[in-house]
Structure formats: C-alpha cells, structure tokens
Structure 1
Amino acid sequence: MPDTVATALATQGLWWLGVVSFIAGLVRGFAGFGSGLVLLPPTGAVLGPVAGITAMTVADLAGPLLIVRHAIRSVHLPDLARLLVSTALALPAGVALLLVLDPEVFRYVLSVVALVTLSLLVSGIRYRGAMTPPLIYTTGGLAGLLGGTVGVPGPPIITLYLASTLPAATVRATILVYLFAYDIYLLGIYALNGNLFIEALLIGALLAIPNITGNSLGAAIFRPSLERFYRVTAYSIIAFSALSALPLWD
C-alpha cells in the first residue's frame, strides 16, 4: 500500500491535474454542470482512459458532497428518476465499448464530444418540443452510453435541460444530482468488471481535495441573476480543456 501511494504521488503532471480539478469543481459549483468536460480531457491524457475516468469520477463524486443535499430540495424528481433508470440500462454497453477503444482514439473522441457539445450550446440550438417521458428516457440512455464510452454523460442532459422551461435553480439541481448518481453507477460497474484500480482511486482522492474546495466556492458565489455570466465562463473553460488535451500537442 505505501508503494502504491508513493506511485500515485509521483504521477507526472499531478499538480496540474490538481489545478484543473479545482477549476472543474468551481464550474460545477456555480453552473451545475461541466465538471467532467473540464477535468476528464487532462486526466485521460495523463492517466489513460479507464484510470483517467476513475480518477475524475472519484474527484467528481467527492466534490459535490457538501452541496448535493441542498440541491435535492430543488430537483425535478420525476425527470431525475427517468434519467437514472435509462442511464443504468445503457451504461454497461458504453463501458464495454470503452474497454476496446484505443487510448489515442479515446482522447480525440472525448475532445470532439466536448467541442461539439460546446458548439451546440454556444450556437443557441435548443430542443423546442415538449419534455415528454419518452424523450427523458431516451436522453438518459444516450447519456449512459456516452458516459460509459468516453466518461462524460453530461452533454445530452445539458443540451436538453438548458432548453427547458424549468427555473434555473431546478435545472442546475437536477443536473447536479443526476451526475452525482451517475458517478456511483460507474464506479460500481468498474468494480464488478475488475477495472477499479487502487492507484487511480488514490489519485482521484487527491484530486477530490481541490475539487471539493472549488465546488464549495462555486456554490457560494452562485446567483440565479448571473446565469448568463456563469454559462459563458463555463463554456470558455470547457473549450480550453478540450483543445489542450488533444493528442496532436504531445
């Protein structure tokens, strides 16, 4: 165990991942989304797909612990239940795809997913139809498949809910609690299929410290009246993270 801890601490680029983890927590704290899109590109580039997703997930799971119980009060419970059921059904298939994906291809796909999602959000393209139960189930299934394959379930959820007529605080809370539950799902699947490695868990635990700090600070500065400012800030950070993690810079 001491050797494993020493190896985790000696991980090249760990200090940089710590900085990014704080920024990712800050984004999630004030915007309610985007943490994975910020943190996963660099962790995937440094640690590899499965270990990077594990470390990001542990940090991402710990970060909102102090704010998720408050967010539950504002969640749209029927939608959350539908999203979680369909995600649980689709997630194992996504993980199976990840395990056969080349690491370099994984990095390109992840960056492309982040940038395409960002482009859709910035362009103002929104779903204008009714938020029906079949649509919610489908969105949850897509999120589970995408999350299992490249570690970011958020894009389908974010794209749909930023177009909803729900209050900003309800949208933020529903996305935040969904992502928290997704993290638990994913770690459970990794444990069942033998891909939950102690080194990646330790790195994730180290990254959780700045992530928790960022989440707490982001939640403290959140003001519904400044929603537009938060979105623009989150978009800019996501774009930088996605572009900087592309393999072509290696």
Structure 2
Amino acid sequence: MDRLWALAMEPASLWLFAVVLVAATVRGFTGFGAGLVFLPFGGALIGPRAAVIVMWTIDTLPTLPILLPALRHADYRSVLPAAAAAAIAVPLGAHVLTSLDPTLFRWGVSTLVLALALLLFSGLRFTGPRRPGSAFGVGLVSGFLGGATQLSGPPLVLYWMSGTETAAQVRANLIVFFAFSTVVSGLAYFANDLFTAEALMRAALAAPIYLAGILLGQRLFTLAPERLFRAVAITIIVAAAILALPVFDGALR
C-alpha cells in the first residue's frame, strides 16, 4: 500500500492521470485513439514498455460501457477477418517490443502515429470492395502495430473510415475489434514477460480515471454532429504525436 501511495504522488503519475483522462475521452468518443494519445506521453513519463502495459490493463474492463452497445452494431463480416489476422501478427509485434531501443522505439511510434493521422486527416479514401481478404490484410498490419505499440487502430480507422460507413458503424467496428485484439495482445505480453508489479499498480490507480473518461467520451459522441467525429479525433491525435516526440522530453518532464 505504501508503494501504491508513493506512485500516486509522483509528479510523473499526476501528469499520467491527466493524459489518461484525455485518452479515455477520445476512446469513448471515437472508439479508438486511446493508445495514440497515451503511449507517446506515457512512454516519455514512465518508459515505453511500462506505458504499453498500463494502456493494455486500463483498456480492458473499463471499456464495457462502450463495448456492450457496440456488439449489436458491428459489421462482423469485416471485423472477424481483421481480428483473426491481428491474432496472428500480435505475437510478432510483442516480440519486437522486447528487443528495440527505447528512444528509437519512441521516435518510430510518434512518427508512425503522425503519418497515419495525417493520412486520415487528408481525406484519403479506400474505394475498393469490402471483402474479407482486404480486412484480413489490414488486420495483419494492425495486429503487428498493436503487439509492438498498442497502436493497432490507425490502419483499421483508415480502412473503415475511408468508405461509406457512418461514424456509428466505424466506431462500433473499432470497439469490437479492440475487444478481440486486447485478449490476444494480453496473452502475447504475458508470454514475453512484460507485466511488472509497478506497471500494474500504475494501471490500478489510473483505471477509475479511464472509466470516467470513457463515459464522458460516450456522452459526447451522442451529442456531437457526425461531421465532428473525424475532425475532432484526428486533430487530437496529430497534436499528441507531435508533442510526444522525444525532443519535447525536457518540457514534458
């Protein structure tokens, strides 16, 4: 208990809780994006591996308020092939996580997040047919990124948002996909011995804040016009990717 209290009072933890609230609000609003917002900052504050485990842990049970409604609206002809492919690729990504240099890892994550977010913001559209094979291919890419960085969302967001699906449909697909991929990535992290007591304690402290943010984001989604769904989420993600580059460590710390 003393260690838990000490972690809660660290300056890094106070910043971490603020980032968790923003990340969870984005997740509740869009169905994705928590990792995009949290991991670059979390990696700067507590290290990339600990940040990945904190993100995975708080993105489990606290997401039930958005998962249960999404189960009724997801397009399983697209979601299931993507989830199956992610299950294949996640272990490879998790293995990469254990072997990369932390600073290089953070540069790669932030650069990748920024590039994918800018693609989404640019209005790029996928005009091909929505076949199981194409969903499977996107799922492979997403699974690898998810295992290595917990950032499996951007390829799937680009795929689903670039077609004719409504914001509600895209959001439901993402939420259900992440429910599947969370189970697989958790097994991969356990197999690679990435769980630590300190990371789990930080997650326990952050989980109530994450739940509050999820509920806030869900409420905002029901109130916002559909045209804001894309612009708000991508703008936040671009800002997070830029500010979380390692060159800003001095300011963040």
Answering whether residue 23 of structure 2 is matched by residue 24 of structure 1, we say yes
1:248 to partner: Cα distance: 1.0
1:120 to partner: Cα distance: 0.3
| CA pair 240-214 structure 1, distance change in 2 beyond 3 A | same
Which residue in the other structure is 1:174 paired with? 173
| CA pair 243-225 structure 1, distance change in 2 beyond 3 A | closer
Could you tell me how far apart the structure 2 residues matched to 1:4 and 1:182 are?
31
Could you tell me how far apart the structure 1 residues matched to 2:78 and 2:7 are?
39
Bigger shift: 2-11 or 237-246? Answer: 2-11
Correspondence 1:33-112 to 2 at 5 A? 33-112=32-111
Residue 37 of structure 2 aligns with an amino acid whose one-letter code is: V
Bigger shift: 11-20 or 153-162? Answer: 11-20
Residue 182 of structure 2 aligns with an amino acid whose one-letter code is: D
Could you tell me how far apart the structure 1 residues matched to 2:148 and 2:55 are?
14
Could you tell me how far apart the structure 1 residues matched to 2:9 and 2:106 are?
23
Residue 95 of structure 2 aligns with an amino acid whose one-letter code is: A
Could you tell me how far apart the structure 1 residues matched to 2:186 and 2:224 are?
36
1:62 to partner: Cα distance: 3.5
| CA pair 224-127 structure 1, distance change in 2 beyond 3 A | farther
8 Å CA contact 1:38, 1:241 repeated in 2:
yes
SS at match of 1:226: coil
Which residue in the other structure is 2:7 paired with? 8
Which residue in the other structure is 1:186 paired with? 185
1:9 to partner: Cα distance: 2.4
1:235 to partner: Cα distance: 1.7
TM-score by length of structure 2 reads 0.92
Deviation string, structure 1 residues 87-123 (Cα, Å, up to 9, x no partner): 1111111111111111001111111111001110111
8 Å CA contact 2:94, 2:192 repeated in 1:
no
1:17 to partner: Cα distance: 1.3
Aligned length: 249
Q: Which runs of 5+ in 2 are unaligned?
A: none
Deviation string, structure 1 residues 147-172 (Cα, Å, up to 9, x no partner): 12222111111110101223321211
SS at match of 1:73: coil
TM-score by length of structure 1 reads 0.93
Which residue in the other structure is 1:235 paired with? 234
8 Å CA contact 2:38, 2:55 repeated in 1:
yes
Which residue in the other structure is 1:165 paired with? 164
Which residue in the other structure is 2:199 paired with? 200
Q: Which runs of 5+ in 1 are unaligned?
A: none
CA RMSD of aligned residues (A): 1.7
Residue 154 of structure 2 aligns with an amino acid whose one-letter code is: P
Could you tell me how far apart the structure 1 residues matched to 2:179 and 2:10 are?
26
1:228 to partner: Cα distance: 2.0
Identity, in percent, stands at: 34
SS at match of 1:39: helix
8 Å CA contact 2:95, 2:192 repeated in 1:
no
Could you tell me how far apart the structure 2 residues matched to 1:33 and 1:195 are?
23
8 Å CA contact 1:86, 1:140 repeated in 2:
yes
Could you tell me how far apart the structure 2 residues matched to 1:11 and 1:80 are?
40
